[in-house]
Amino acid sequence: MLGLRNLLPLLALSLGQGASAFVYNTFDGEGSPSCHNVTEVHNATSVDEIASLVKDAKERGLRVRAAAQGHHWYDAQCSDEETMIIRTEFVNGIEQFELEDGAESGSVVIEAGTTFLELSSWLHERNANIGTGLVNWNISLGGCVAMGAHRTSLRESAVVVGGVLALDIIDGNGEIRHIEKNEDDDEWLAASTSLGLLGIIARLKLSVYPETKVWAKQQILDEDDVFNGNLTDLIAPYETANLWWWPYKKKFHHRYYDSVPANTSDQEGFQNTFSVTDLEAGAAKALLDSGKVLPSSNWLAEEIFFGQWEKPNFRDKRTNEPIDEFPVYGWNYDVLIGGLYEGQKPVWEHGLRGYTLELAFPMTRANEMLKRVRELFDAEAKKGKIMAATYRSGVNIKFGKSHYDFLGQVTTGTADGEDWSQGAIMFDFPSYRPSWGDQKRYNEEFYIKLANTLIDEFTCRPHWTKNTRDVLKRASKHVDPEYLARFKVIKDDFDPEGIYRNVIGEILGLYE
């Protein structure tokens, strides 16, 4: 018979197995799961260590997902089965920098977890930048390339992968595979937007350019100017440009940027992307929390946010003094991205959380799509439910030049009958997540109806980290079946046992 002394460790072991799985969160922290069934988290410190962790996970029958800065919105990072998380934050070497004097471009090799902030400051010291493929300061390039992230441009490449020349991916056997950019190669077309399903992107070779200054300008447009205007003409002339929609005020801000020689201005503008003072955060939180039941709070919030967005959200980097007027000039990265002002924290660290939805539509249907959204807003108003934007920069309308690959949001040549070659318009609708009760928004059904209507009435493509599982499921019908089949062939070769599987891959039917 087993004595108590023998039984205890056994009990602990069997309890331990079930109880040891935990929830892993997004950047929004507690209450914002990105994975539901994580059994271990490793802070890898080298590419070799990532590879050996992958081999270990494979042997032990665990699934594996990379994790970088957690800058995504919903629980679609992992599958719901036991998963090992490998964090890439400390695998962030930068090497092999080449940019000849007078050359138009050069290259650099970075490791998986390198962030835009780290890379840009490193390059700026060497009088270089990565051009326009910038998304956000504290996000990894590996995580962005994996998930098809992009900024906003019709003239220049908008996807982060647009600047990638080669990738090293650690496959499902823990072996490193090198893939060069080549649009005739299905391996490249799959790796270009891989959703992390081929493996962990360990290294990226990127194009670099001589450092420039950039100006930023902004104007206000009425809805009619946008709905009935030529959106290509509004966006395509610039290096990067977008619209921020204020649906309660029925206005847009049009923000546009372009590069100029470094000696054009001595201003050093730095954009505040997400930081707020304690006081601002407290006031915004109280107002928006009441907006869960009182729509007038949301109207007021939109008025305030609109007013704040009107003025340049820039300071001079050297003096920390606010810049009051457009155009603003500054170094490429500081103007296009910027970051936090001294002594301030990003909104999410103040406990302001969000929901979002992002869908991409062909430019040829841009006006039609925006008008349809206006109709849906108006239909609510008729029912006495007047909706507003509850995010500090309104509804973000972005644009993407087409980029050919299998699973990207802006790919071309699909069999859906749409012309994606003129690029895409993205409807990116962030909203405040009330911190109390069921955390649902005022008139929650509207948000769901809006998403469903757009997905059912238009050929559109989801952003892979900015949509709920429900939206991803509903939108998956628009993914080109032939591209998906070709992606699967590469995925099966890289990861035959499916250790990198996640819910997006499952929704796409890649594991059936």
Ligand X SMILES: Cc1cc2nc3c(=O)[nH]c(=O)nc-3n(C[C@H](O)[C@H](O)[C@H](O)COP(=O)(O)OP(=O)(O)OC[C@H]3O[C@@H](n4cnc5c(N)ncnc54)[C@H](O)[C@@H]3O)c2cc1C
- In the complex, the residues that contact ligand X under the rule CB under 6 A are 27, 65-72, 77, 88, 112, 135-136, 139-140, 142-144, 146-147, 149-151, 196, 200-201, 465
Tokens 């023998």 — which residue?
A: 6
User: Least distance to ligand NAG from the beta carbon of 186, Å?
Assistant: 31
Q: Which is nearer to ligand X, 27 or 446 (CB)?
A: 27
Alpha-carbon dihedral sign for residues 283, 287, 288, 292: positive
Distance in Å, CB of 392 to ligand X, minimum:
11
139 binds, among ligand X, ligand NAG, none (CB under 5 to 8 A by kind): ligand X
**58 touches which of ligand X, ligand NAG, none (CB within 5 to 8 A by kind)?**
none
Q: Which is nearer to ligand X, 225 or 349 (CB)?
A: 349
Asked whether position 437 contacts ligand NAG by CB under 6 A, the answer is no
Closest CA to 191 of 173, 208, 178: 178
Does residue 81 belong to the site contacting ligand NAG (CB under 6 A)? yes
397 contact choice in ligand X, ligand NAG, none (CB below 5 to 8 Å, kind-dependent): none
Using left for φ > 0, alpha for ψ between -120 and 50, and beta otherwise, residue 422 falls in: alpha
Can you read off the two tokens belonging to residue 48? 């070799």
Nearer to ligand NAG, 78 or 301 (CB): 78
Residue 185's CB is within 10 A of a number of other CB atoms, namely 13
**Cβ distance to ligand NAG smaller for residue 296 or 320:** 320
Nearest-approach distance from CB 310 to ligand NAG, in angstroms: 26
Q: Which long-range contacts (CB under 8 A, 24 or more apart) does 305-313 make?
A: 305/246, 305/389, 305/391, 305/392, 305/393, 305/394, 306/246, 306/249, 306/251, 306/253, 306/394, 308/392, 309/244, 309/253, 309/392, 309/393, 309/394, 310/220, 310/253, 312/216, 312/218, 312/269, 313/271, 313/272
Q: Which CA distances in Å does 195 have to 7, 17, 110, 414, 462?
A: 44, 29, 19, 19, 13
Neighbours of 438 (CB within 10 A): 8
149 makes contact, choosing from ligand NAG, ligand X, none, with CB < 5 to 8 Å by partner type, with ligand X
Closest to 378 (Cα-Cα) out of 366, 390, 391, 387:
387
- 156 interacts with ligand NAG by CB under 6 A: no
**Sites for ligand NAG among residues 21-80 (CB under 6 A):** 21, 36-37, 41, 43, 69, 80
Q: Please tell me whether residue 101 binds ligand NAG under the rule CB under 6 A.
A: no
Considering the complex, state which of residue 99 and residue 139 has its C-beta at the smaller distance from ligand X. 139
Instruction: State the minimum distance, in angstroms, from the CB of residue 65 to ligand X.
Output: 4
Binding site for ligand NAG (CB under 6 A): 21, 36-37, 41, 43, 69, 80-82, 87, 89, 138, 230, 232-233, 261, 263, 340
